Every structure is written in C-alpha cells, then in structure tokens.
C-alpha cells in the first residue's frame, strides 16, 4: 500500500518549488489535485516548450501523478468549488507571491474556518523581515541564501549552481514539514501552518559555510587551497572553487580526453586513511616517508601541488578507469557525469531514479523518478495531467455533485 493513501492534497502551486513538493507527496500515494487557472494553467505548461502545443518538459517533469482541475477562484462558483474541496482535503499547498492567497480570501484565518483540520503549507521567497514582500525565483534564493557568495572561484564573481536548491530544495523542506504536520495532527486533531522561505531553505543547505565563517575567527581555513597559495582570508567565507567542504581535501582532476570532452574529469578525495594507497597508485612512494607529506596536517599547505601531481596520473586514464582502480582501494572518487550520461545510466534506470514515461500528446520522454525509496511504498511514476483533465472526475467523485450542478458550474465562469 502507498504510504500516503487516503491523504488529499489541494495543490495550488505553480512553477517549481511548490510542484516539486506536491509531486513527492503524490509519489508516496497522496491524492494530489492541482488547481489551475482556466486557459493556460500553470505557466510552466507553455514555458521552454520544445514541441508546439505540447505541455513542456518543465511542466511534465514536475507534475507527475497529479490530477488537474481548472478553476477560476475569483469567480463565485469557482470559490464555492474551492471551498468544497478545502472541506474534503487534508492539506492546502500554495506558493503564490506574498499576499496573493490572502487577497483570494484563503489565508490561514479563513481556511481554518472552512476546515479546522486542514494544514496550510506555503512557500515564500523570504520569511518575515525587510524582503518579505519580494517575489523570488531560484537564483535569487541561491544568492540571498549565501550559496552564490561561496560558489565559484576565488578570482571570479559569485556563481549560481545548476542544482535547484532554491526551488526543489525548498520543495523538499516543505514536504517534510507537511508530513510532520500530518503526523502531529494524528495526536492533536488540529491542522497547522507550515511555512518555508526559500532563503531559509538555502541557508540550511549552506550550513557548512556558516560553520566556516565562524571558524575564521580562529585563523585561516587551512583545508581551503587558498591557504596553501598564501592568499589571505577576509572576514567571511570565501568562494572555494572545487575544494571539498569537509575535513578530507578534494578537487576536480582532468582525465584522459579532457581536451575534447568537457566532462572528462573526476572528483578525487585524498582521504587520510588511504593516503598510502594514493601514493602507491600514482607512483609517489617517496611521499610516504617524507615528513612534509606523511601527515594530513603537513599536506595542508601543499594541496595544489599534490592535486596537480595526482592529476598527472589521472590524465593518463579515462574517468571510469580512475574509478575502477581507486574504488577497490577505498580511495573516494567519483566521475563528473553529464546529463547525457545520467539519462542513459543503466543503474539509475534499474532503481527507478531515471524513468521513461509515456504522455498521450508528447509521447515518450525521460524524467527523474522518486529519489526516496520506501520499501513498503513503491513510487510508480505516472504522467502529468492535461489541463483540466480531471474536472468531471473531481466534481462528481470527490465533491459528489450531481449532473445538473456539474453542468451549471461548467457553463459558469468558474472553469472558463
């Protein structure tokens, strides 16, 4: 049985942060009803389209396993349908701009009056404070959450990362908040608000960078390669290039073919317990006896030279050869994989992390399945809904409206 079977989620989310959250809940078996504006629906249906007139991959890849109902909630019949749905639901999720849900008439005070057991879950860009009224997209969250100032190379500008830590990261945080609130409701019998600000989500993911900011008070960060180069630290966490964020130094190293293949690289970690094996494998046995290299402490001011030397060895092997030599020796390293390699990775396909889905208009496409594996609740990925595909089903089966009422609503402005 699916873990969240029987839980109904009103999904009033759009773009990426909210939809990633509700998609996860749908994969775990919740009945997720996506409410979309009549006409175009979620704006991502038509953004970054690769095929004319077909729901974009942007939309399809974020809205699996959901049902879609079109509803103009500014129309009186639309409001009535929404309120009836609120009465039948466990969770109401939204990620509108600040103040929007209140202007619609469905802020926390109002929604509780309709259903005291409901959980209202919201994503906003910022929490209370000077920026609370701001609209926010992914990269703004990455910048305001501290990620961009600590990403990139020391001599370059701040950088955003391809991992959608602002949107999908916040969606993950929100999903955990919702499931926790559902769990607490079992005991309290009450709903509650779940708020996640995208800035907060990114700050949480940048925890180790705040750690480093505080460590600077005690002196330079000696595991940063900047230290070995003699470049002074300022009073805040610097951009660390490809330095590892932890206690075991690491860097990205070129492999055979790097001149033509932008992804012919490995991430290589000089983990202290396997230092001897690293020296042996790259043919630098003399480092084992050399007091300038034999301890992790002694190596800290030479990291750039050490990685340059290891790279002379990795450049003679393909990235997969490096892994197949280092992995049995317990040397932690991993390949830089392109999206093409990920899409075609047989092991990711075997675990359902990469799946192929069939869409009635688009045809077959590749997507990311559920990355969280529950042994008792298998997440089968089902295609995203067409706009308003479940209008009739939701009005009749969930709201138990009779045919006359359904026809009246469909003829009103509520669904047009």
Cβ 70 to ligand CAO shortest distance, Å: 8
Q: Of 5, 87, 103, 211, which one interacts with ligand CAO (CB under 6 A)? A: 103
Stretch that binds ligand CAO, among 123-131, 219-227, 238-246, 322-330 (CB under 6 A): 123-131
Total residues contacting ligand CAO by CB under 6 A comes to 24
Q: Is 239 in the site for ligand CAO (CB under 6 A)?
A: no
Which tokens in the block code for residue 262?
Answer: 């932008």
- 358 is an active site residue: no
Mapped onto helix, strand or coil, the DSSP state of residue 358 is: strand
Cα torsion through 399, 404, 407, 413, rounded to 10 = -80
What does the alpha-carbon distance between residue 174 and residue 194 come to, in Å, rounded to a whole number? 7
Q: Is 124 in the site for ligand CAO (CB under 6 A)?
A: yes
Cβ 240 to ligand CAO shortest distance, Å: 26
Q: How far apart, in Å, are the Cα atoms of 336 and each of 17, 250, 254, 260, 368?
A: 26, 14, 10, 14, 18
What does the alpha-carbon distance between residue 272 and residue 279 come to, in Å, rounded to a whole number? 11
- Name the pairing type of β-strands 31-36 and 67-70: parallel
Say which of 42, 75, 167, 200 is annotated catalytic: 167
Cβ 388 to ligand CAO shortest distance, Å: 11
Is 247 annotated in a binding site? The answer is yes
Q: Is 125 in the site for ligand CAO (CB under 6 A)?
A: yes
Q: Of 26, 71, 310, 414, which one interacts with ligand CAO (CB under 6 A)? A: 71
Q: Is 95 in the site for ligand CAO (CB under 6 A)?
A: yes
Dihedral class, residue 48 (left if φ above 0, else alpha if ψ from -120 to 50, else beta): left
> Residue 70's beta-bridge partner residues?
36
Q: Of 108, 131, 137, 258, which one interacts with ligand CAO (CB under 6 A)? A: 137
Cβ 287 to ligand CAO shortest distance, Å: 48
What does the alpha-carbon distance between residue 148 and residue 107 come to, in Å, rounded to a whole number? 33
Q: Which is nearer to ligand CAO, 4 or 15 (by Cβ)?
A: 15
- Sheet bearing 250-254, strands edge to edge: 250-254, 265-269, 333-335
Q: Is 131 in the site for ligand CAO (CB under 6 A)?
A: no
Is 97 annotated in a binding site? The answer is yes
Q: Which is nearer to ligand CAO, 79 or 254 (by Cβ)?
A: 79
Contact (Cβ atoms closer than 8 angstroms) between residue 132 and residue 142: no
Interface residue list for ligand CAO (CB under 6 A): 15-18, 35, 37, 71-74, 95-97, 100, 103-104, 123-125, 135-138, 167
Residues tagged active-site: 167
């Amino acid at each position: 049985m699916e873990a969240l079977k029987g839980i109904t989620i009103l999904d009033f989310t759009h773009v990426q942060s909210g939809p990633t959250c509700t998609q996860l809940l749908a994969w775990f078996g919740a009945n997720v009803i996506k409410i979309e504006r009549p006409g175009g629906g979620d704006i991502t249906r038509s953004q970054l389209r690769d095929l004319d007139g077909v729901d974009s991959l942007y939309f399809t890849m974020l809205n699996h396993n959901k049902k879609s109902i079109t509803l103009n909630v500014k129309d009186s019949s639309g409001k009535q349908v929404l309120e009836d749905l609120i009465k039948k639901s466990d969770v109401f999720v939204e990620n509108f701009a600040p103040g929007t849900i209140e202007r619609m008439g469905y802020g926390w005070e109002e929604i509780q009056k309709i259903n005291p057991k409901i959980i209202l879950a919201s994503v906003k860009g910022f929490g209370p404070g000077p920026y609370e009224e701001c609209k926010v997209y992914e990269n703004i969250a990455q910048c305001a959450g501290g990620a961009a100032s600590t990403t990139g190379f020391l001599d370059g500008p701040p950088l955003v990362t391809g991992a959608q830590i602002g949107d999908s990261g916040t969606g993950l945080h929100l999903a955990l908040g919702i499931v926790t609130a559902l769990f607490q409701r079992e005991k309290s019998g009450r709903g509650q608000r779940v708020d996640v600000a995208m800035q907060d989500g990114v700050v949480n993911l940048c925890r180790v960078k705040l750690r480093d900011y505080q460590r600077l008070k005690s002196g330079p960060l000696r595991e940063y390669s900047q230290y070995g180069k003699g470049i002074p630290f300022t009073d805040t966490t610097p951009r660390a290039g490809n330095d590892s964020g932890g206690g075991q130094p690491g860097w990205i190293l070129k492999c055979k073919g790097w001149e033509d293949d932008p992804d012919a690289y490995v991430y290589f970690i000089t983990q202290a317990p396997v230092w001897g094996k690293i020296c042996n494998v790259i043919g630098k046995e003399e480092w084992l006896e050399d007091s300038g290299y034999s301890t992790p402490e002694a190596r800290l001011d030479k990291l750039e030279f050490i990685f340059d030397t290891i790279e002379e060895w990795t450049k003679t092997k393909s990235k997969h050869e490096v892994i197949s030599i280092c992995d049995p020796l317990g040397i932690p390293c991993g390949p830089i994989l392109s999206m093409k390699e990920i899409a075609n990775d047989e092991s990711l396909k075997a675990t359902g992390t990469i799946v192929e889905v069939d869409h009635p208009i688009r045809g077959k496409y590749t997507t990311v399945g559920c990355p969280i594996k529950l042994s008792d609740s298998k997440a089968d990925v089902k295609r995203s809904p067409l706009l308003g595909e479940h209008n009739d089903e939701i009005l009749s089966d969930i709201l138990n409206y009779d045919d006359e009422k359904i026809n009246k609503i469909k003829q009103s402005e509520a669904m047009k």
